[in-house]
Structure 1
Amino acid sequence: MTIPIFYTISDNYTPYAAVSIKSLIDHANDEKDYTITLLVQEITDEHKKALKDLATKNVHINIFHISDEMVQPIHQGEENYLRGQFFTMSIFYRLFIPELFPQYDKCVYLDADTIINEDIAKLYETDIKDNMFASCPDLSIRYMPLLQEYIKECQGILPPEKYINNGVIVFNMKAFRDKKFVDKFYYLMNKYHFDNVDPDQAYMNEICEDKIYHLDKKWDAMPNESIPEIENPKIVHYNLFFKPWHFKDVQYGNYFWNVAKTTKFYDQLKQELASFTDEDRQRARNDLKLMAEKVKHIEQEPYTWAKVKKIEDVRI
C-alpha cells in the first residue's frame, strides 16, 4: 500500500515545492511506500526533471497535468482573486483531487510553502472518523481584527476560531465523491459569485462546515508575529506574505533554510532573498493590510456566505 500525497503548484513555485518535498523525504519511513503527485497546468521540462529527480526507492514522484476543461467553469474575475489581489488557478486544483484519483479513499494534501518535520505517514494515519477532511485552525489570521471580522460577518462562521487553513489537509476522498463536493462547488460559485479573500479555502470551510476534523496546531504552524513559535512543529507553513525566501527574520525560517541548502535550488533561493528589497518587504506588509481592508467591501456585497446561509443551506 502506498501513502498518497498531493501538491498543487504553478511553474514558478517549483523551487519551494522542491524544498518541501525534500523535507518530506528526509522524514519518510524507509519501511513505508509514498507516492507524491504534483498537479500542474504548465511546467517546464527542466523543472519537471528537477522534481522527479528527488524521488527515492520508496518515495515516488509523478507530475499530473490538470485539464483546461475541468477548471473552465472557474471565473477569473476579482471575486476569485487570492488575497483580493491576483488570480491563480492552482489554488483550486486541490478541490478536484478526490475526483481525479478515484483509486484512493484517503490522501494528504500539502501546500508547496511547507516544511515537513515528521513522517507524513503519521498525519495520513490520523483517524478523522466520518468527517470530510482534517485541517488546522488558521492561526495566521487569529490576531488580525479585520480578518476575524471577515470570518464572522462575511463567512458567518462562529466562533471564528473554527475557521481552518487548507494548506495541510487529510482528505476523506470517498466522502468528497459520495457527497458530490465538486458539483456543490460549481453550483454555488456560478449562482452567487461569492467574493472571498481566500476563495478555495472559503468554499471548503463553508461546504464542509461542521464536518471538519481539527488537527493539532503542530501540523500547520504558521508565522504570526503576535504569538510565539510553536515548539517542535510537525509541519511549518509559510502562509500569506512572509516567506523565508523574502524575509530574513521570519518565524520558523531556519526550518526552511536547513532543508533548502541540501537542494539544487539553494543558490537561487539565496539570490531571491538578497534581491528582495526593503521596498518589496514594505509592499508585502501593505498587501496584508489591503487584504484585510477588502473585508469592508465584501460586507456590502449582495451575496456573502453569511447572507446566503440565511436563505439556503450551502453545506454538504
Structure 2
Amino acid sequence: MTRIGVISHCAGPRSSREELRDTIELACRAEELGFDSFWIAQHHFGVQRGHSPSPLVLLAAVAERTERIRLGTAVVVASLEDPIRLAEDATTVDALSGGRLELGLGAGADPATARRFGRDHDTRRDDLRRTVETLIELFEGGRIVPDGCGLRDRIWLGTASRSGMELAAELGAGVLSGRSSSPQGPDDAVSARMLAEYTRRATNPRVGLSRPVVCTDDTASARVLLEGGVTDWVDRGVRTGRFPEGFSATDYLDRGHVYHGSAETIAAGLRDDAGLPFATDLLCHVQPVHLTAAQWEPILERVATRLRPLLAQRQDAVTH
C-alpha cells in the first residue's frame, strides 16, 4: 500500500515565529492522524514567503514532539551546502528522532539564491552529485558523529529530469517527483515515463509523488479556500511570463493543477494520475496556497479519514 505523507512549505504572510510554531503543531497533528511522514521544504531569503531556510533545525524541534512519523526534507538544496556540515546536521536529527529522518536533496532552481551563496547556478547538478557522493562516503565510512548508519539508504533526490532520475538510480537514492505549473496543465505522462525508467533501473526504487491536495466537503468550498492564494500565484506568474496574459485562477484550477473538492472527487483524479502507479509515497501539500495550521488541519483530517480509505480500496482492487 502506498504510504501517505504531508509536505509543509512553512510559508505565509505571518511572522516567522508564528509560521514555524504552526508547522510543528501541524506535524504533531499529522502523526495523530496516522500519516506516515512529514516533510519540510527549504526556502532561502523568504522566497515564496517561506520561513524555513534550515529545515533540519525545524525537524529537530518536530522530533522532540513526535514519536513515530517519518521526518523528511523536501528538499535541502545540497548544491549550496558544505557536505560535512550537512552530514553532521542530518545525523544529529536522525539520532534525536530515533532513526526517522528521510534526507531529500536537490540541485536548486533559483539562480538568484545561488548567486547570493557565491555559487555558479550552471554547475548545480555537478555540485549536487559531489555533495551526495561525499555524504554517502561519510555515512558508510563511519567517519561522522553522530553515526550516519542507515541514512545512506534514506537519501532522496528531488528532480523532474531524466538525468536526475538516472543519478538517483545510480546512487541508490529515492526520487521526489513533483509537477510543473504550465498553462496547459500538468503533463504527468512525461514524468511517469521517466519514473518507469527509474523504477526499472534502480535496485530499490522509492518514489515520493508530491501532489497538491485540498480535501473539503465539495468543489465549491475548496475553490473558496483556494481562490485568494491561487489568484496571487497566477498574477505573479503572468508578471514573470510563466502564464500568458489573461490567464486566471479559474484556468489554473480547471486544468488540474490542484486536486481539490470532496474525497471522492480527489480519489477519481488521482486514479487517473499517471505517476501514482510508481509511487511508494504520496506526499500531500497545499501549495501554491498559504494556509494557516487552523485551515490545514481539517484538510489533513479529511485526507486521513476519507481520502486514504478510498485510495486503499483502489489499490486492493488493482492487487486482486
Q: TM-score scaled to structure 1, two decimals? A: 0.30
* More RCO (CA 8 Å, sep 6+): 1
Name the structure with the higher helix share. 2
Q: TM-score scaled to structure 2, two decimals? A: 0.30
